[in-house]
Amino acid sequence: MYAALMTGLADDGAFSPDRQRALDEYVLRQGLTGLYVGGSSGESGLLDVEDLIEQQAVVAADAKGVTLIAHVGAPSVRDSVKLAKNAARLGYAGLSALPPHSYPFTDAEILGYYSELQAATDLPLIVYEVPIRTGRPIGLEALVAIMDLPNVAGIKFTSTDMFKLSMLRRRCPAATLFFGFDEVYLSGAVLGADGGIGTTYNLLGKLYAALDRAIRAGDLPEAQRLQDISAVFVEGLLDTGVLPGMKAAFRAIGIDVGPTRAPMAMRISDGAERMEKLVRRPEIAEWIS
């Protein structure tokens, strides 16, 4: 279970090492397996490569003894390889990357991208299926071909196509499958996901660690109870926007990780007040350190 780590920003939107360290300190207390650094939850699509390289270094210094996966997906494969090689130098355990999506790339072009990226280092690579971000799913046969590449170890599957997830589990039995929708992680785990990577794990990592333990122990009532708490929290983020709401939630518990980078912004005028009420709900407050 990995937190898809958020990014600490200064008030002017610049990367803030101090705010990143404050966030890291909190997340590292959650009992998770590790951190997934520089992904969509970290606003990577709005950050410069130099910001992401600096963040990789700050997190690597903070998270000694914790498994780190660097998300290195960028519109250009050149930037992705640069990020991948930097993560390897810093001692990250693995890599992950969104497929290229700046243009309507073919499955063959996406396969070519992953082929070049997996060969750039010796680190295992987690590919990424996330139609909500890329605008389209990758075909099953193309995904299987990508996952057959030498250094590809698995996939982060952030899709509601649960039949496709089950087919991937059967077609790629040795692969590591991470499920990316926090609010329905139970569904993915039941269908064979090995673990989860999620945004709300930053704040509620203890909840998700407990949820996964309940699933592995076969305690379905407890797993359903914990998943319902997760769903209540995620529902509260729908009006605010996920990342603006998450940053407001952290401010509500006394940890300022800064704003989201423009143009991303809080969607409603009372978002901060709503998130403050949400984190004080007893069933949620129980899981906040």
Catalytic residue numbers read 128, 156
Integer Cα distance of 194 and 283 in angstroms: 26
Residues found in the chain = 289
Give the Cα separation of 188 and 179 in Å (integer): 6
Best CA proximity match to 117, nearest among 90, 145, 83, 91 = 83
Residues 85/56, Cβ–Cβ less than 8 Å: no
> Contacts by 214-219 with C-beta closer than 8 Å and gap 24+?
215/186, 215/189, 215/190
Q: Please give the helix or strand (H or E) that residue 224 lies within, else none.
A: helix 220-240
Residue 78: other Cβ atoms inside 10 A: 11
Torsion of CA 43, 45, 84, 148, to 10 degrees: 110
